[in-house]
Structure formats: structure tokens, C-alpha cells
């Protein structure tokens, strides 16, 4: 079936979008949700398993207290109520990624409910209402053998690794998000981004979307403009980057509008997102898949967090990331654009730590967003993964401030730091990078430049100070960059006064 995709402007002119987001956060606990197997990423297949997470007969699960603590902290950070008493439930389905034939989850008694998170999009604040955040366990990982492309369709059989089965997950579910209009794709992206920031600030997950430790399911429906009703939704599963969240919403809006304007009805179904072209395709294979026959888990006792415990955990909450941004922008005197770029580059914490280590905010921003961002980009890693620390950046800037080196030499110091050549001072000594402060050598270089460029020298004598740049450049070249350009300028102007 070919899809009719309606241009975005026309979609928002004729329809009101409703969003709903479900985000799964994989916790960074040491062990799984209900057993003591390691919950780390990347072990050899089926080496992090035990009778409990393999669902062997007689195995008894016990709740990981640390995971409950993380769940409560997430709930509190999302301004949720924390249940005084709640239970786990069995979600029954037959699929080999869960060896028990059910997933232990929570159903009508989530640990956290009725919260909200405010997100900013282009200066406008949207309050995203949180319906619930509940605890559950991750599934195993299947690979499909045979067929054309390793997909489940057409596969001859499948192979399952249960290392991931049982890793604690928190699922955060929004209420329908209405009134976003043409900003729907951006609101969805901003919300997922805000959740990620919150999770990072809480320190409860690796928060790596590329490794699946945060996964988003994007629900979207359209209703005729101004009708106030909710349309039939589609649910696009496992959208695994912020950009993809935005694209998935945009695509589904265009697709739904095409169906509705053509007089058709949107099918309530799950969709798969395709990174290559930003499209979605129909995903659900089984019509009975929604019939999960939840019932309370008889092998686990209820969780009843005392109010004292909840208040203790509330006291451990970090500053809200959005509030923190406003505070830091004020302290640093950044423009909105500078702040947005800093956040966008994932450099906020790095700049904050660099400033804490003594650098001026603008200098800290400059190094992280230009020189170091370029190197991270070249290496294909995140800024935080570079082997340069905020303290080192502050130390380099201190050397620039002291005129021991200039910006150009500082870049070579960063080369040395990335190559593991020691402290900035050691690198400067070993590479001979220090600015030449020997006035005699500098003076001689200036004299040489004047002698070699008589025309320019004459212009400067005639008062055209702007021409000094050419002479300064010649001196810097002569000194192989190891001069303080400001001092060179002073010397040039003195000699030609």
C-alpha cells in the first residue's frame, strides 16, 4: 500500500495532534530486578542468568531494593505521588524473549502516578502530565536466523540471549499531550530530552539512547481541528534517538492526515520506525497481543514505601535540570543562543566543572564548543568521552591568561592531553610550546619584519594602524606562533611611532 503523506503545514492547518509518550529507562543497578544476576551491558550470551531470570520451576524472585529506591526518586523528580502500597503484576504473553511466559510488571498499582514535567520549546512552556511511572523488567534479546535481512519476518528460527532479561526498567507514561499544534514534533523531542536530562541528573541510568538504556514509544493521533475529540492512535515502538522522536511524530502526522483526508480510518496498531528514511511501517503481528490477562504477582509481596523513606529520598533529589539551566545562564552571562548551543553540545556539566575549576565561563565555553567539540566529532565520541578533563581545560586557560601560551599553542597542548602526554605544563615543556618572552628575540623578529615589509611599515608610520596586522602575522610566523600577539603589536607600534 502506498501512503499519502500530507505536507506538514496542511496537517496542522486541518488537524489537532495528540501525543503520548512511553519511555523505558533501564536502571544502572548492579543486579537485576528480581535476582542477583549482574545487570551490565555486553556480557557473553547467557552468562548473566540464573534459575529466576530463566523462569525455571521453583525459582523465587525477590525485589531489588535499590531499584525501588531509583523508581521512587524518578517518580519524585517527575512531581508524582508515590504509592503508599502497590504490587507487581504478571503481564502474560507468549514470546520467547521472556522465558517465564510473562513479564513481571505493575498494572493498576504503579509506584508513582499523577506527575508532570515542564518542557520549553522555542520560548513556550508545555506542561507534560505524567500518568504513571512503574517498575518492570527488561526482556531477553532475540536474533533471527534465515530469511532475507535478519528480521523476524521470514526467519527460519530465532536465537535468544537472556542476559538482559530481568534488568530493572522504569516505564514512564504521559497522559495525552494536547494543544501542541505545529510544535508537536518538537515537544515530543523536548520531552524525551528533558527526561534524559533528569535521569542523568538523578544518576539512575546510563541514559544512553544509542545503547537502548532509554527507549521511547511514540503515540500519535489526529483529530479534526477544533473538534476536541481524540482520534485513533498509532504507537511507534523503540524510537532510539532524540532526532528520531521528532521525525517519527512528523511522519505519523503526515501519514494519519493522508488516511483521514482520503476518507479512511487510522488503524490502531504498533509501528516500526526506520532510521534510514524516517518512515514507519506496520508492526503488530498478533491480533491478540493486547490481551495480557494481568493479575497480581503471587510470588512477590507488596511494596509499601514509608513516608519517612520517601521524604529521605526526596532530600536526595538533584536540582531540576531546567531550573539549573536558568541559574547557570544567569551566573555565566550567556546569551540564549550560547546557552542553547552549550546544552545542545552536551557541554553543560563540562562547562560548569571547568568554571568551578577556575576558568572564566566564556573561556570554558569556547574550548568545549569549538576546539574540543571538533575533536570529539572527529573521533566520533561524546564530549564527555574525551580524555580531557574540565580541570585540565581550566589549567590550559590559566596558562593562556598568564600569557605562558596563546590560543594557538593551547590547541597543541590539547593535542598533547588527548595523546596522554601528561599535564599541560609537562606538555608545554616537552613540546617547547611556551610563548617566547625573551624581549631581545621578539624585538629582533619585529625589526626583521619591518625591514622586509617597508611599504607596510610606512603605512603604519603614516597612522594606518590597521596595517599592523600584516606585520604581526609576519612576526608570529617568524616566531613559529610562540609569541604573545598582544606584546608583538605593542612592539610594532612602539618602533613605528
Partner 1 sequence: MSQLTRDEVAHLADLARIDLDDAELDHLAPQLNVILEAVASISGVAGDDVPPTSHPIPLTNVFRDDVVVPGLTAEQALSGAPEAEDQRFRVPRILGDEQ
Applying CB under 8 A, the residues found at the interface with partner 1 are: 29-31, 35-38, 44-51, 53-54, 56, 62-68, 85, 87, 92, 94-96, 99, 142-145, 152-153, 155-162, 285-286, 288, 291, 293, 295-298, 300-305
Report the alpha-carbon distance of residue 113 to residue 74 in Å, rounded: 11
User: Hey, is 44 helix, strand or coil?
Assistant: coil
Q: Which is nearer to partner 1, 75 or 321 (CB)?
A: 75
Least distance in Å: CB of 308 to partner 1?
12
Tell me the Ramachandran region of residue 102: left when phi exceeds 0, alpha when psi lies from -120 to 50, beta otherwise: beta
Least distance in Å: CB of 157 to partner 1?
6
> Using only C-alpha atoms, what is the Rg of the chain?
29
Report the alpha-carbon distance of residue 98 to residue 187 in Å, rounded: 33
Residue in this structure with the C-alpha cell 511511572, named with its chain if needed: 133
65 bridge partner residues:
none
Q: Which is nearer to partner 1, 85 or 116 (CB)?
A: 85
Least distance in Å: CB of 290 to partner 1?
11
Q: Which is nearer to partner 1, 67 or 177 (CB)?
A: 67
Task: Using alpha carbons, list the distances in angstroms from residue 387 to 103, 226, 497.
Answer: 40, 53, 47
Least distance in Å: CB of 275 to partner 1?
23
Q: Which is nearer to partner 1, 54 or 493 (CB)?
A: 54
Cβ atoms within 10 Å of 360's Cβ, excluding its own: 14
Least distance in Å: CB of 33 to partner 1?
10
Q: Which is nearer to partner 1, 56 or 356 (CB)?
A: 56
Report the alpha-carbon distance of residue 480 to residue 2 in Å, rounded: 63
| Whether 238 contacts 267, CB under 8 Å | no
Task: Using alpha carbons, list the distances in angstroms from residue 303 to 25, 61, 90, 134, 335.
Answer: 20, 14, 15, 12, 47
Report the alpha-carbon distance of residue 140 to residue 72 in Å, rounded: 25
Report the alpha-carbon distance of residue 188 to residue 182 in Å, rounded: 11
Q: Which is nearer to partner 1, 60 or 444 (CB)?
A: 60
Least distance in Å: CB of 316 to partner 1?
16
Q: Which helix (H) or strand (E) segment is 158 a member of?
A: strand 157-161
Least distance in Å: CB of 149 to partner 1?
14
- Residue 405 has φ and ψ, to the nearest 5°, of -135, 165
What contacts 56, CB < 8 A, 6 or more positions away?
none
Least distance in Å: CB of 317 to partner 1?
20
Least distance in Å: CB of 143 to partner 1?
7
Least distance in Å: CB of 166 to partner 1?
10
Least distance in Å: CB of 216 to partner 1?
24
Report the alpha-carbon distance of residue 222 to residue 184 in Å, rounded: 11
Least distance in Å: CB of 167 to partner 1?
12
Q: Which is nearer to partner 1, 5 or 160 (CB)?
A: 160
Q: Which is nearer to partner 1, 206 or 252 (CB)?
A: 206
133 bridge partner residues:
112, 172
Report the alpha-carbon distance of residue 116 to residue 132 in Å, rounded: 10
Q: Which is nearer to partner 1, 37 or 77 (CB)?
A: 37
Q: Which is nearer to partner 1, 156 or 210 (CB)?
A: 156
Task: Using alpha carbons, list the distances in angstroms from residue 203 to 159, 322, 371, 451.
Answer: 33, 16, 28, 63
Length of the chain counted residue by residue: 497
Report the alpha-carbon distance of residue 148 to residue 283 in Å, rounded: 17
Q: Which is nearer to partner 1, 160 or 200 (CB)?
A: 160
**What single DSSP character describes residue 104?**
E
Q: Which is nearer to partner 1, 285 or 455 (CB)?
A: 285
Report the alpha-carbon distance of residue 97 to residue 94 in Å, rounded: 9
Amino acid at each position: 500500500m502506498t501512503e499519502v503523506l500530507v505536507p506538514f503545514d496542511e496537517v496542522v492547518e486541518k488537524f489537532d495532534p495528540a501525543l503520548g509518550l512511553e519511555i523505558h529507562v533501564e536502571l544502572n543497578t548492579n543486579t537485576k530486578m528480581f535476582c542477583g544476576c549482574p545487570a551490565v551491558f555486553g556480557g557473553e550470551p547467557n552468562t548473566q542468568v540464573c534459575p529466576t531470570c530463566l523462569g525455571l520451576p521453583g525459582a523465587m524472585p525477590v525485589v531489588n531494593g535499590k531499584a525501588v529506591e531509583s523508581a521512587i526518586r524518578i517518580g519524585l523528580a517527575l512531581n508524582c505521588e508515590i504509592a503508599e502500597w502497590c504490587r507487581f503484576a504478571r503481564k502474560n504473553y507468549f514470546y520467547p524473549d521472556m522465558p517465564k511466559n510473562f513479564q513481571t510488571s505493575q498494572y493498576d498499582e504503579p509506584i508513582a502516578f499523577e506527575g508532570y514535567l515542564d518542557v520549553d520549546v522555542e520560548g513556550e512552556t508545555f506542561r507534560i502530565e505524567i500518568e504513571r511511572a512503574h517498575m518492570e523488567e527488561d526482556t531477553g534479546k532475540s536474533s533471527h536466523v534465515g530469511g532475507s535481512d535478519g528480521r523476524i519476518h521470514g526467519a527460519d528460527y530465532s536465537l535468544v540471549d537472556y542476559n538482559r532479561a530481568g534488568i530493572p526498567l522504569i516505564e514512564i507514561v504521559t497522559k495525552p499531550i494536547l494543544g501542541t499544534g505545529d510544535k508537536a514534533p518538537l515537544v515530543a523531542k523536548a520531552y524525551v530530552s528533558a527526561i534524559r536530562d533528569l535521569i542523568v541528573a538523578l544518576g539512575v541510568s546510563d541514559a544512553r539512547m544509542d545503547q537502548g538504556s532509554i527507549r521511547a514509544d511514540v503515540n500519535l493521533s489526529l483529530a479534526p481541528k477544533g473538534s476536541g475529540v481524540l482520534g485513533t492512535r498509532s504507537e511507534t515502538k523503540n524510537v532510539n534517538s532524540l532526532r528520531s522522536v521528532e521525525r517519527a511524530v512528523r511522519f505519523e502526522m503526515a501519514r494519519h492526515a493522508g488516511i483521514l483526508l482520503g476518507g479512511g480510518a487510522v488503524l490502531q496498531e504498533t509501528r516500526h520506525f526506520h532510521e534510514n528514511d524516517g518512515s514507519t511501517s506496520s508492526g503488530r503481528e498478533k491480533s491478540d497481543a493486547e490481551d495480557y490477562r494481568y493479575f497480581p504477582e503471587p510470588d512477590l509481596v507488596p511494596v509499601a514505601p514509608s513516608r519517612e523513606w520517601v521524604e529521605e529520598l526526596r532530600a536526595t533529589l538533584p536540582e531540576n535540570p531546567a531550573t539549573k539551566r536558568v541559574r547557570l545562564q544567569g551566573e555565566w552571562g550567556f546569551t540564549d543562543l550560547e546557552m542553547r548551543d552549550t546544552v545542545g553540545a552536551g557541554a553543560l556539566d563540562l562547562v560548569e566543572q571547568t568554571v568551578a575549576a577556575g576558568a572564566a565561563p566564556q573561556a570554558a565555553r569556547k574550548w568545549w564548543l569549538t576546539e574540543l567539540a571538533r575533536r570529539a566529532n572527529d573521533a566520533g565520541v561524546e564530549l564527555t568521552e574525551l580524555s580531557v578533563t574540565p580541570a585540565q581545560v581550566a589549567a590550559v586557560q590559566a596558562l593562556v591568561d598568564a600569557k605562558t601560551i596563546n590560543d594557538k599553542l593551547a590547541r597543541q597542548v590539547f593535542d598533547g592531553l588527548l595523546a596522554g602526554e601528561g599535564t599541560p605544563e609537562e606538555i608545554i615543556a616537552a613540546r617547547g610550546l611556551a610563548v617566547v618572552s625573551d624581549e631581545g628575540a621578539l624585538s629582533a623578529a619585529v625589526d626583521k619584519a619591518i625591514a622586509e615589509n617597508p611599504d607596510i611599515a610606512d603605512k603604519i608610520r603614516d597612522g594606518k594602524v590597521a596595517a599592523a596586522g600584516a606585520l604581526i602575522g609576519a612576526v608570529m610566523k617568524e616566531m613559529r606562533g610562540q609569541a604573545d600577539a598582544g606584546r608583538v603589536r605593542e612592539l610594532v607600534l612602539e618602533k613605528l611611532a
